[in-house]
Amino acid sequence: MSKTEALAKIMLGPLLLMQGAYTRRITPKLPEAEGEREGLAGDGEPLRLLILGDSAAAGVGASTQAQALSGQVVSRLARAYQVGWKLWGRSGLDSQALLELLEQHGPEPFDVALLSIGVNDVTGTLTADQWVTRQQQLLAILSDKFGVRLIVISPLPPMHLFPALPQPLRWYLGNRATRFNGRLAELADRTDRCTLLTTHLAPVAGAMAPDGFHPGPAIYSAWAGDAAQVIARHLGRTPSGTL
Protein backbone atom coordinates (compact mmCIF):
# COMPACT_ATOMS: atom_id res chain seq x y z
CA MET A 1 0.00 0.00 0.00
CA SER A 2 1.35 3.43 -0.93
CA LYS A 3 1.84 6.12 1.69
CA THR A 4 -0.83 8.21 -0.02
CA GLU A 5 -3.37 5.40 0.13
CA ALA A 6 -2.52 4.53 3.72
CA LEU A 7 -2.89 8.15 4.80
CA ALA A 8 -6.17 8.48 2.90
CA LYS A 9 -7.60 5.42 4.63
CA ILE A 10 -6.66 6.85 8.03
CA MET A 11 -7.94 10.35 7.34
CA LEU A 12 -10.91 9.55 5.11
CA GLY A 13 -11.75 5.93 5.90
CA PRO A 14 -15.25 6.44 7.38
CA LEU A 15 -16.22 8.90 4.65
CA LEU A 16 -14.97 6.59 1.88
CA LEU A 17 -16.97 3.71 3.32
CA MET A 18 -20.10 5.84 3.53
CA GLN A 19 -19.68 7.12 -0.01
CA GLY A 20 -19.06 3.61 -1.32
CA ALA A 21 -22.22 2.26 0.33
CA TYR A 22 -24.26 5.23 -0.88
CA THR A 23 -22.95 4.94 -4.45
CA ARG A 24 -23.78 1.24 -4.60
CA ARG A 25 -27.28 1.95 -3.32
CA ILE A 26 -28.19 4.73 -5.77
CA THR A 27 -26.33 3.57 -8.90
CA PRO A 28 -28.71 1.90 -11.38
CA LYS A 29 -28.08 -1.84 -11.77
CA LEU A 30 -27.75 -2.31 -15.52
CA PRO A 31 -28.14 -5.76 -17.10
CA GLU A 32 -25.50 -7.61 -19.06
CA ALA A 33 -25.83 -7.20 -22.83
CA GLU A 34 -28.25 -9.59 -24.50
CA GLY A 35 -27.17 -11.93 -27.26
CA GLU A 36 -25.06 -14.94 -28.12
CA ARG A 37 -21.94 -15.68 -26.10
CA GLU A 38 -20.22 -17.90 -28.61
CA GLY A 39 -20.17 -18.32 -32.33
CA LEU A 40 -18.28 -18.52 -35.61
CA ALA A 41 -17.81 -15.47 -37.84
CA GLY A 42 -15.86 -14.59 -40.97
CA ASP A 43 -13.63 -16.43 -43.41
CA GLY A 44 -9.92 -16.96 -43.64
CA GLU A 45 -7.36 -18.31 -41.22
CA PRO A 46 -9.01 -19.87 -38.15
CA LEU A 47 -8.72 -17.85 -34.93
CA ARG A 48 -9.97 -19.18 -31.59
CA LEU A 49 -10.80 -16.20 -29.38
CA LEU A 50 -11.79 -16.09 -25.71
CA ILE A 51 -13.16 -12.88 -24.21
CA LEU A 52 -13.36 -13.05 -20.44
CA GLY A 53 -13.75 -11.01 -17.30
CA ASP A 54 -16.13 -8.80 -15.40
CA SER A 55 -19.18 -6.68 -16.23
CA ALA A 56 -17.35 -4.80 -18.98
CA ALA A 57 -16.48 -8.10 -20.67
CA ALA A 58 -20.14 -9.11 -20.26
CA GLY A 59 -21.22 -5.94 -22.05
CA VAL A 60 -22.95 -4.01 -19.27
CA GLY A 61 -23.74 -0.59 -20.71
CA ALA A 62 -24.66 -1.93 -24.15
CA SER A 63 -28.06 -3.31 -25.11
CA THR A 64 -26.72 -6.22 -27.16
CA GLN A 65 -23.49 -8.14 -27.47
CA ALA A 66 -23.19 -6.78 -31.02
CA GLN A 67 -22.72 -3.31 -29.47
CA ALA A 68 -20.49 -4.56 -26.66
CA LEU A 69 -16.83 -5.55 -26.55
CA SER A 70 -17.33 -9.13 -27.76
CA GLY A 71 -19.45 -8.30 -30.77
CA GLN A 72 -17.36 -5.35 -31.86
CA VAL A 73 -14.00 -7.09 -31.62
CA VAL A 74 -15.33 -10.22 -33.36
CA SER A 75 -16.84 -8.19 -36.21
CA ARG A 76 -13.49 -6.50 -36.83
CA LEU A 77 -11.43 -9.68 -36.68
CA ALA A 78 -13.91 -11.50 -38.89
CA ARG A 79 -12.82 -9.29 -41.78
CA ALA A 80 -9.49 -11.14 -41.84
CA TYR A 81 -10.08 -14.38 -39.91
CA GLN A 82 -12.61 -17.11 -39.33
CA VAL A 83 -13.23 -16.35 -35.67
CA GLY A 84 -14.48 -19.06 -33.37
CA TRP A 85 -15.22 -17.12 -30.21
CA LYS A 86 -16.55 -17.54 -26.68
CA LEU A 87 -17.44 -15.02 -23.99
CA TRP A 88 -16.95 -15.93 -20.33
CA GLY A 89 -17.95 -12.76 -18.53
CA ARG A 90 -20.09 -11.97 -15.52
CA SER A 91 -20.99 -8.86 -13.56
CA GLY A 92 -19.34 -8.58 -10.17
CA LEU A 93 -16.35 -10.80 -10.86
CA ASP A 94 -13.05 -9.89 -9.25
CA SER A 95 -9.76 -11.61 -10.06
CA GLN A 96 -10.24 -14.40 -7.51
CA ALA A 97 -13.75 -15.17 -8.76
CA LEU A 98 -12.47 -15.25 -12.35
CA LEU A 99 -9.75 -17.71 -11.33
CA GLU A 100 -12.42 -19.93 -9.79
CA LEU A 101 -14.52 -19.67 -12.95
CA LEU A 102 -11.56 -20.79 -15.07
CA GLU A 103 -10.92 -23.70 -12.74
CA GLN A 104 -14.51 -24.86 -13.32
CA HIS A 105 -14.11 -24.95 -17.11
CA GLY A 106 -12.55 -27.99 -18.72
CA PRO A 107 -9.39 -27.54 -20.81
CA GLU A 108 -10.11 -25.97 -24.19
CA PRO A 109 -7.62 -24.46 -26.66
CA PHE A 110 -7.70 -20.79 -27.62
CA ASP A 111 -5.28 -18.78 -29.73
CA VAL A 112 -6.05 -15.41 -28.14
CA ALA A 113 -7.61 -14.30 -24.85
CA LEU A 114 -8.90 -10.75 -24.34
CA LEU A 115 -9.03 -10.08 -20.60
CA SER A 116 -11.02 -7.42 -18.74
CA ILE A 117 -10.75 -7.63 -14.95
CA GLY A 118 -9.85 -5.43 -12.02
CA VAL A 119 -12.44 -2.78 -11.23
CA ASN A 120 -13.93 -4.96 -8.51
CA ASP A 121 -10.43 -5.52 -7.13
CA VAL A 122 -9.84 -1.77 -7.00
CA THR A 123 -13.09 -1.20 -5.12
CA GLY A 124 -12.22 -4.06 -2.76
CA THR A 125 -9.39 -4.52 -0.29
CA LEU A 126 -6.61 -6.09 -2.36
CA THR A 127 -3.17 -4.54 -2.09
CA ALA A 128 -1.16 -3.92 -5.25
CA ASP A 129 1.06 -6.92 -4.45
CA GLN A 130 -1.97 -9.18 -4.04
CA TRP A 131 -3.38 -7.77 -7.27
CA VAL A 132 -0.22 -8.70 -9.20
CA THR A 133 -0.23 -12.20 -7.71
CA ARG A 134 -3.81 -12.76 -8.91
CA GLN A 135 -2.91 -11.51 -12.39
CA GLN A 136 0.08 -13.86 -12.55
CA GLN A 137 -2.22 -16.74 -11.65
CA LEU A 138 -4.70 -15.73 -14.35
CA LEU A 139 -2.00 -15.51 -17.00
CA ALA A 140 -0.61 -18.89 -15.96
CA ILE A 141 -3.92 -20.72 -16.14
CA LEU A 142 -4.78 -19.16 -19.50
CA SER A 143 -1.43 -20.27 -20.89
CA ASP A 144 -1.14 -23.69 -19.24
CA LYS A 145 -4.73 -24.96 -19.17
CA PHE A 146 -6.16 -23.24 -22.24
CA GLY A 147 -3.04 -23.05 -24.43
CA VAL A 148 -3.50 -19.34 -25.15
CA ARG A 149 -0.78 -18.07 -27.47
CA LEU A 150 -1.50 -14.37 -26.95
CA ILE A 151 -3.09 -12.78 -23.88
CA VAL A 152 -4.32 -9.23 -24.48
CA ILE A 153 -4.92 -7.43 -21.18
CA SER A 154 -7.22 -4.45 -20.93
CA PRO A 155 -6.05 -1.70 -18.59
CA LEU A 156 -8.16 -0.54 -15.70
CA PRO A 157 -10.31 2.42 -16.73
CA PRO A 158 -9.63 5.97 -15.50
CA MET A 159 -11.83 5.71 -12.42
CA HIS A 160 -10.84 9.22 -11.31
CA LEU A 161 -13.09 10.42 -14.15
CA PHE A 162 -16.14 8.25 -13.42
CA PRO A 163 -19.13 10.60 -13.02
CA ALA A 164 -20.95 8.07 -10.79
CA LEU A 165 -18.32 8.42 -8.05
CA PRO A 166 -18.40 11.33 -5.61
CA GLN A 167 -15.26 13.01 -4.31
CA PRO A 168 -13.05 12.05 -2.52
CA LEU A 169 -14.02 8.43 -3.37
CA ARG A 170 -13.42 9.15 -7.04
CA TRP A 171 -9.90 10.39 -6.33
CA TYR A 172 -9.14 7.48 -4.01
CA LEU A 173 -10.27 4.75 -6.42
CA GLY A 174 -8.65 6.55 -9.35
CA ASN A 175 -5.36 6.59 -7.48
CA ARG A 176 -5.63 2.84 -6.80
CA ALA A 177 -6.52 2.11 -10.42
CA THR A 178 -3.51 4.09 -11.65
CA ARG A 179 -1.15 2.21 -9.33
CA PHE A 180 -2.63 -1.15 -10.29
CA ASN A 181 -2.20 -0.26 -13.96
CA GLY A 182 1.45 0.56 -13.36
CA ARG A 183 2.05 -2.82 -11.79
CA LEU A 184 0.08 -4.49 -14.57
CA ALA A 185 2.28 -2.86 -17.21
CA GLU A 186 5.39 -4.17 -15.47
CA LEU A 187 3.92 -7.68 -15.35
CA ALA A 188 2.95 -7.62 -19.04
CA ASP A 189 6.44 -6.44 -20.03
CA ARG A 190 8.10 -9.41 -18.34
CA THR A 191 5.56 -12.05 -19.39
CA ASP A 192 5.87 -13.90 -22.69
CA ARG A 193 2.87 -13.94 -25.02
CA CYS A 194 1.23 -11.11 -23.13
CA THR A 195 0.50 -7.51 -24.07
CA LEU A 196 -1.27 -4.63 -22.33
CA LEU A 197 -3.54 -2.42 -24.40
CA THR A 198 -2.89 1.30 -24.32
CA THR A 199 -6.53 2.11 -25.05
CA HIS A 200 -7.57 5.51 -23.73
CA LEU A 201 -11.04 4.91 -22.34
CA ALA A 202 -11.77 8.35 -20.92
CA PRO A 203 -15.50 8.76 -20.22
CA VAL A 204 -16.29 11.63 -22.59
CA ALA A 205 -19.79 13.09 -22.54
CA GLY A 206 -22.36 10.70 -23.97
CA ALA A 207 -19.95 7.77 -24.30
CA MET A 208 -20.61 6.09 -20.96
CA ALA A 209 -23.58 4.00 -19.88
CA PRO A 210 -26.44 5.75 -18.02
CA ASP A 211 -25.07 4.51 -14.68
CA GLY A 212 -21.95 6.68 -15.08
CA PHE A 213 -19.80 3.66 -14.28
CA HIS A 214 -19.74 1.33 -17.30
CA PRO A 215 -18.72 1.89 -20.93
CA GLY A 216 -21.29 2.71 -23.56
CA PRO A 217 -21.18 1.40 -27.15
CA ALA A 218 -18.83 4.20 -28.30
CA ILE A 219 -16.22 3.25 -25.70
CA TYR A 220 -16.65 -0.43 -26.48
CA SER A 221 -16.03 0.43 -30.15
CA ALA A 222 -12.74 2.19 -29.43
CA TRP A 223 -11.67 -0.60 -27.10
CA ALA A 224 -12.53 -3.30 -29.64
CA GLY A 225 -10.73 -1.44 -32.43
CA ASP A 226 -7.51 -1.22 -30.45
CA ALA A 227 -7.75 -4.87 -29.39
CA ALA A 228 -8.34 -6.07 -32.96
CA GLN A 229 -5.35 -4.11 -34.24
CA VAL A 230 -3.08 -5.50 -31.51
CA ILE A 231 -4.26 -9.06 -32.13
CA ALA A 232 -3.75 -8.79 -35.91
CA ARG A 233 -0.29 -7.29 -35.46
CA HIS A 234 0.85 -10.00 -33.05
CA LEU A 235 -0.48 -12.73 -35.32
CA GLY A 236 1.59 -11.42 -38.21
CA ARG A 237 -1.03 -9.55 -40.14
CA THR A 238 -0.49 -5.95 -41.21
CA PRO A 239 -3.37 -4.03 -39.66
CA SER A 240 -5.62 -2.61 -42.34
CA GLY A 241 -7.73 0.47 -42.17
CA THR A 242 -10.84 -1.68 -42.03
CA LEU A 243 -9.83 -4.08 -39.27
Quick: pLDDT tens for 60-98. 999 999 999 999 999 999 999 999 999 999 999 999 999
Burial class (CB in 10 A: 0-12, 13-18, 19+), 230: buried
Structural domain of 171: 36-234
Q: What is the CATH number of the domain that holds 54?
A: 3.40.50.1110
Question: Quick one: how far is CA 163 from the chain centroid?
Answer: 19
Low-confidence ranges of the chain (pLDDT < 70): 1, 3, 5-8, 10, 202-205, 237-243
pLDDT of residue 239: 44
Is 151 part of any domain?
A: yes
CB 68, CB 227: distance < 8 Å: no
Is 89 part of any domain?
A: yes
User: Please, which residues have CB within 8 angstroms of residue 8's CB and are 6 or more apart in sequence?
Assistant: 16, 168, 172, 175
pLDDT of residue 28: 84
At residue 121, what are phi and psi to the nearest 5 degrees?
-75, -40
Is 130 part of any domain?
A: yes
As a whole number of angstroms, the distance between CA 8 and CA 16 comes to 9
Name residue 154's amino acid. S
Strands (DSSP E) contained in 117-229 are: 150-153, 194-196
Is 203 part of any domain?
A: yes
DSSP state of 87: E
Is 17 part of any domain?
A: no
pLDDT of residue 237: 67
pLDDT of residue 1: 66
Is 29 part of any domain?
A: no
Is 170 part of any domain?
A: yes
Is 28 part of any domain?
A: no
pLDDT of residue 26: 75
Domain tally for the chain? 1
The pTM assigned to this predicted structure is 0.92
